[in-house]
Amino acid sequence: MDLKRAIDLAQKQTPLALSAAEAEYMVQEALAAQSRISSRKPVLGGFSWQFVPMLFCSAALLFWWLWPTAPVSEMAGQRPAFDLASRVAPPASALASRLQLPNGDEIAASPGVHFRLVEANANSRAIDLSSGDMLFSVKPLKGDQSFVVTAPGLRVRVTGTVFSVHASAAATVVRVYEGAVEVLMNGNTHNVSAGQQINSDGLRVQREPDALSSVADEFVAARAAWKSQSEETKAAPARQEVSQTRARRATDPTKGTKPVAGRKQRTEVSMPAESPMPEAELTALQPTTPEHAGEADALRQGQRLLAQGRFAEAAELGRIESLPILRGDALRAQGKHRAAVAAYQQSTSMLGTYLAARIILSELSQPLEALNLLSNSPAIGVGSPIRERALALQMQAAVQASQPSKAEKIARSYLKLFPEGGANAFANQVLAP
């Protein structure tokens, strides 16, 4: 087709001629229409109906902004009250939505948090946090109860503590305000104490303030009040029972001795069997420096559990808080001697070695093993705070292992170092012809 020619034809086309009357009619009609339009009264004082959809959209947006967000309502199980005031001036802590579970646990969530309540029953509570900040105040768990928070890259097991979890695309951070939590990430377990925080890369630093710090402080204060109240109501009868038990032991001559039969012995000797070790001794030897303040708290809590006879909980607490001596005491009280020895030997302190050797000797009746353990231990070295006890135990082990020369050597050292020691009589018996 010839496009150029078509364009020429289009240029040359002219409309049909109008008569003068027709042209005048069209002009007058246009002017009349214009005057009709300009004389039309405005509807509703000039209100333009074109703005109606815009107004409707604005109202919908305002309503959507003012209405509470969906995840919070899912958490609470009911729609929160319509609160305009908190939306207008939103301080960070005021925007945190709080929820109290039936067992007294408290949860606070920052706005826009996304999480899923995986499990929520009397024994097991599990929360899957996708993004946002959540703060948990969990009452101490009993028996097989568990409280687990899963966030991107890590998993937090709780025993009874106040902690927060921040999850975002960049990192996941666990902050502990009170007690301690066990964080599982990349196949490793990290125990994070109060005042510390750990992120999903495994970096552990001093806790930094976050959006929910003020709420956390309230939770900690509430827990302190709850603890003092529960201690007054629960600990008093337990302490009374323990003191009664100790009084019965002190007056009962059959308790505290363990006869060793079927072994060659030169002398009938016995060491007092103390179970568990005196609290004063434990607290003196456990770390109580400020950076281990969380451990000291956990240790005191564990001792309370031992005094109340809640050995399983104490053992679990010792495992989670990395307190092997507490765990060993709890296992020993449960009669699990071999497990107690293993727990004691996990301790890097000389007290752990001493306690392990004591169980091996008295409960497992393996004096040779106890002797070897003590011989290589710093517990009998110079400067050891438990040197006197360790030497006495080593001497007893040597006697029971039928190694008289070694026993005599230890007895001489003992008498020389501790002329006023509690095992002097036993040392003299060893050295007697």
Partner 1 sequence: MAQARLVSLVEPQHLLRDLLPKLRTWLLRYLGPCAVLDDVVQDALIEISRSLSSFRGDSSIDTFAYRIAIRVASRALKKQSRRVAVLRLVPAAPDTIDPHLQLANRELLRQLYDALDGLPHKQRSVFVLCDIEEHSPTEAAAILNCKAATVRSQLRRARNHLARTLGDSNVTWKEVE
Please report, as ranges, the residues that interact with partner 1 according to CB under 8 A: 1-7, 9-16, 18, 23-24, 26-31, 33-34, 37-38
What does 312-354 look like in DSSP terms, one character per residue? HHHHHHHHHTT-HHHHHHHHHHTT-HHHHHHHHHH--SHHHHH
CB closer to partner 1, 35 vs 245 = 35
**Residue found by looking up tokens 């303030």 in the block:** 209
Query: How far, in Å, are 88, 91, 170, 308 from residue 85 at the CA level?
Result: 5, 11, 32, 49
CB closer to partner 1, 14 vs 233 = 14
Closest listed residue to residue 241, CA positions, set 310, 302, 301, 308: 308
User: For residue 89, how many other CB atoms are within 10 A of its CB?
Assistant: 7
Shortest reach from residue 111's CB to partner 1, in Å = 46
CB closer to partner 1, 14 vs 254 = 14
Backbone angles phi, psi at 321, to 5 degrees: -90, 5
Shortest reach from residue 42's CB to partner 1, in Å = 16
Question: Distance from CA of residue 432 to its chain's centroid?
Answer: 57
Shortest reach from residue 50's CB to partner 1, in Å = 17
CB closer to partner 1, 13 vs 254 = 13
CB closer to partner 1, 13 vs 348 = 13
Shortest reach from residue 52's CB to partner 1, in Å = 23
Task: Give 90: exposed, middle or buried? Use CB within 10 Å, 0-12, 13-18, 19+.
Answer: exposed
CB closer to partner 1, 23 vs 59 = 23
Shortest reach from residue 2's CB to partner 1, in Å = 7
CB closer to partner 1, 6 vs 203 = 6
Shortest reach from residue 7's CB to partner 1, in Å = 6
Shortest reach from residue 43's CB to partner 1, in Å = 18
* First-residue to last-residue Cα distance in the chain: 136
Dist. CA 269–CA 249, nearest whole Å: 19
Classify 297 as helix, strand or coil.
helix
